[in-house]
Amino acid sequence: MKSRVACIVAVAMLTTCSPAWSQIEKGNLDGHFNEGAADCKTNPQAPLEVHPFDGKTFVLRENLCATFEAPFMYLLIGSSKALLIDTGDVADAKLMPLAETVMLLLPPQMPLLVVHTHRHLDHRAGDVQFEHLSNVQVVGFDLDSVRRYFGFTDWPNGLAQLDLGGRTVDVIPTPGHNATHISFYDRNTGLFFSGDFLMPGRLLIDDTAADLASANRVAAFVKDRPITYVLGGHIELNTAGKTFPWESHYHPQEHVLQLSKDDLLALPEAVGRFNGFYTGSGNFVLMNQIRVLIAVGTVAVIILLAIAIGLIRFVRGRRRARVGNVSAM
């Protein structure tokens, strides 16, 4: 792990001093990520993967054997500051050396800003690894902290910008999956970081109206902008578009991480067709997890009641039959 990180650090340091990009910087995100294991005990995995998109942009993923959430995190390095989007699902640095890996990827003494796509624990559990490091600022994950730090005075309207030094990142409010959700657009690479708002997986929607408004807002934002890839928070689909079982530590034939501008532009129509429970719409799987769980729970209760009533009737019938037999004697 350390030798691999050291090599990546060398590449990052060589490229960080290059002139500011005058056009979209090309990168490489070919290949697949580690698929985990059917039995993680007998087939142990490295806890963290680091994929360089280019010398200034890194995709990090926590392994499926470390956490079934297997979230993605993104490190963007400018000339004066670096940005880490999300900190993953594992707090213990001994199990998940996230902060150590990230700090080794940075040029010496470069300030680091840590932000979150939203407040769900699987995107912020690693905050504790960064909170006491020098030259690191961790932005709060609650809505007040998000609005205050980015200067959103009319949430969820408006845009914010982060200046990393020769690298500007736009911040777009995208509530719907969660009330605190934001997405990021890197002008240098054309990468759109969508968190759980859009990813190759289950799109869990808490607030349909907010999600539809966010989808329309994002579609308008990207319409005339170059989008290299859309990079989300998880992968939950295989190459055939089928979802992996909940809490699976093994993703054979996993779908690629990257989605496209067309997927962003198609999202408003898909959310517009969402029935509020579960909808498979083209390449999208949309669901309201709470409502689905309530519906499943209600059905389960009805089935249990039906079984209980059936058993009661059966027992009563047997008793009547015994009484009738005794009377006949």
Q: What pLDDT shows up at residue 10?
A: 42
What is the 8-class DSSP label of residue 224?
Answer: T
**Contact indicator for 62, 89 with CB cutoff of 8 Å:** yes
Q: Is the dihedral of CA 121, 123, 124, 125 positive or negative?
A: positive
In terms of domains, do 105 and 240 share one? yes
310 in the same domain as 180: no
- Both structure tokens of 293: 């769980």
Tokens of 58: 């890194």
Do 314 and 174 reside in the same domain of the chain? Answer: no
pLDDT at res. 174 = 98
The CATH number covering residue 73 comes to: 3.60.15.10
Q: Which residue has the tokens 């209760």?
A: 301
Would you say 62 and 48 are in contact if contact means Cβ atoms under 8 Å apart? yes
Q: In terms of residue numbers, what domain contains 223?
A: 2-287
Residue 90: its pLDDT value, please? 98
91 lies in the same domain as 111: yes
Number of structural domains the chain divides into: 2
Q: What is the pLDDT of residue 67?
A: 98
Residue reference for tokens 């578009």: 241
Question: How far is residue 198 from each of residues 9, 109, 164, 170, 230, measured CA to CA in Å?
Answer: 30, 34, 25, 17, 8
* Averaged pLDDT in 10-residue chunks for the chain of 329 residues: 47 39 80 93 96 97 98 98 98 98 97 98 98 97 98 98 98 98 98 98 96 98 98 96 95 97 97 92 82 50 65 73 66
Based on the fold, state whether residues 265 and 299 are members of the same structural domain: no
Model pTM score: 0.84
